[in-house]
Structure 1
């Protein structure tokens, strides 16, 4: 009876390993892989859209803060430029005086 079971099992294994069944299994594996790829692509697309929506909602506040900071910086730059123009002649005169009015001092003996 053991030999008969062994022969039956071998016959089933031979049937399972026929080229036709292997081709069917290969086709099913390819179909499953393609289906999984489609699901992954759909999931990725959904998550990217979700991220873009989140990003759009949360960058509005940053944009406003950035605009305010730029306005403040522009105001400070204009203030510094006005101050520079106001004192420009005095600064140039002081620099020229320091360069042209040389007062040599002998080195001290240490």
Structure 2
């Protein structure tokens, strides 16, 4: 047991080290995709998202809290296949083309608005 989770609200907590209490920063460090894919920020981010979805959505919220995972969660994943992958890659390509690359964009609200829209 890693004992890294925070305590949850009393109405939800069943023990001192619940999966729902793991902070996202700790979880990103546990996955270690930045170390494994240092030159591929898209894959690194998607690995963390996939692991987080598995733990927090499927196991914690879906099974543990509500008593079971419905068919719609599994069907949604099949129907939306590579939408997040494609959108994330498009975002990185856009930043490289219009702002010089990741970490090189000017820190202004206009740049944030441009990237976000």
The answer to whether TM tops 0.5 is no
- TM-score, normalised with respect to structure 1: 0.25
- TM-score, normalised with respect to structure 2: 0.24
**Bigger radius of gyration, 1 or 2?**
1
